[in-house]
Amino acid sequence: MHVFREVKMSLQILPQAAPGEDAFGSFTGEFRMSQEVSLMESVGAEVGFSGIVGQSVALRQVLQLVEMVAPSDSTVLLLGETGTGKELIARAIHEQSQRHKQSFVTLNCAAIPGSLFESELFGHERGAFTGAHTQRAGRLELADRGTLFLDEVGDLPLELQPKLLRTIQEHTYERVGSARTKNVDVRLVAATNCNLEQMVDEKQFRQDLYYRLNVFPIRIPPLRERLEDIPLLVQHFTQKYARRMNKQIDTIPEAIIQKLQRWSWPGNIRELENLIERSVILSGNRMLSVSLPEKMNSAIDATAVVGNFEEQKRIVEILRETKGRISGPKGAAFRLGVKRTTLLDRMKKLGIDAREIRNSIAPERQVGCA
């Protein structure tokens, strides 16, 4: 699944149309993707990452950590909810490492039955168990000199955790059914959506293995913490599935973007991608048509007013703390973790005037100096 590439496009906001002209009944304009769309990997170009969509502060912080740890051979633990793109970040670490010319091998610990997991990880000899008709190399052996990505490592069977710990510490292992010890040189990246510390407390995960995995933890933010990336993601997925389905879609109503930014996205980027794929299927002209599930649509409508009020309150509070300053390292945009243009746009829509805020705090400043 493609998740994070920053997408630079030529966008136009078309003239405002009458209410009710879009799928949501509140049309405020459209994003029009030009015929000559350029998918420039701005964030990716800075650090060489591919397949990464987004430009939010939260994503940039993750990529900075990836850039720092990738050249080393240190074990990395990726923490994040399901659907946030942990595997893509793991691939980025591999691509930026000195092992990038070698194999990147994945193993989903939640997808393999416990009885087969040891064989999948370490391999087996012929006749090691019923059904083992041939010798087979495990994922560990296939990843030799490369990177092994253990996804959902919290589901690793407890009885196999000491064997993985030994492999990490000694760089050795044995195939199932073999007494011969083999050496292995693997860079390990693990990922989980579980609270491993709590699992350690509950004796569901070995403490010593947790410490070995948690050398360099990176938290992948959920989509609700990077709403600024939704327009780029929507454009990216729209183009992806339009090409795949031989469709021409070059217009995305702005009302769609605004509505999608009011959803909490419990399924994260995977949920958004599935929604856009379905929407492309349903779109019969050059404009993206999105029909949200009734439950999702109702929840967004119910929270819109409250969300706007809370956002307005937060922005005004930060602007007062920064004395009305918007730009720079001491400005409100930096404090809120958004671009200056994004903040100005939100202030305009919420009716916030920075000059009024500066004027309102000027008398207070004079009193304090008297």
The CATH number of the domain holding residue 3 is 1.10.8.60
Paired tokens of 337: 């973790």
Shared domain check, 77 and 213: yes
- What is the pLDDT at residue 175? 82
The Cβ of residue 208 has, within 10 Å, a number of other Cβ atoms equal to 13
Q: Which residue has the higher pLDDT, 18 or 181?
A: 181
User: Considering only 44-48, 152-156, 245-249, which range has the smallest mean pLDDT?
Assistant: 44-48
Task: Answer yes or no: is pLDDT of 78 > 60.
Answer: yes
Task: Answer yes or no: is pLDDT of 7 > 70.
Answer: no
| CATH value at residue 212 | 3.40.50.300
Last residue of a domain, one of 273, 292, 311: 292
Shared domain check, 232 and 88: no
Last residue of a domain, one of 194, 219, 244: 219
Alpha carbons 264 and 124: distance in angstroms, whole number: 45
User: Is residue 73 helix, strand or coil?
Assistant: coil
- For residues 265, 267, 272 and 276, what is the CA-based torsion angle, rounded to 10 degrees? -130
Shared domain check, 213 and 154: yes
The pLDDT tens digits of the residues spanning 32-55 come to 554 333 333 334 434 446 678 998
Task: Answer yes or no: is pLDDT of 3 > 60.
Answer: no
Last residue of a domain, one of 159, 193, 219: 219
To which H or E segment does residue 37 belong? none
The pLDDT tens digits of the residues spanning 285-344 come to 889 988 888 778 777 766 554 456 677 788 888 888 888 889 888 888 888 878 888 888
User: Is residue 211 helix, strand or coil?
Assistant: helix
Alpha carbons 47 and 67: distance in angstroms, whole number: 7
Shared domain check, 136 and 95: yes
Shared domain check, 63 and 49: no
- What is the pLDDT at residue 264? 86
Please write down the HEC assignment for all residues of 300-321: HHHHHHHHHHHHHHHHHHHHHH
Alpha carbons 167 and 164: distance in angstroms, whole number: 5
Shared domain check, 110 and 31: no
Domain span at 98: 57-219
Handedness of CA 113, 119, 125, 128 (dihedral sign): negative
Whether the CB-CB separation of 130 and 88 falls below 8 Å is answered with no
Question: Mean pLDDT of all residues in the chain?
Answer: 81
Paired tokens of 192: 């989980």
- For residue 148, give the nearest of 199, 99, 111 by alpha carbon: 99
- Number of domains present in the structure of the chain: 3
Shared domain check, 148 and 28: no
Which one-letter amino acid corresponds to residue 201? D
Shared domain check, 333 and 240: no
Shared domain check, 125 and 88: yes
Shared domain check, 187 and 76: yes
- For residue 85, give the nearest of 221, 196, 187 by alpha carbon: 221
The pLDDT tens digits of the residues spanning 256-272 come to 898 898 888 999 999 99
Shared domain check, 19 and 153: no
Shared domain check, 62 and 48: no
- What is the pLDDT at residue 201? 95
For the segment 83-103, the average pLDDT, to the nearest whole number, is 95
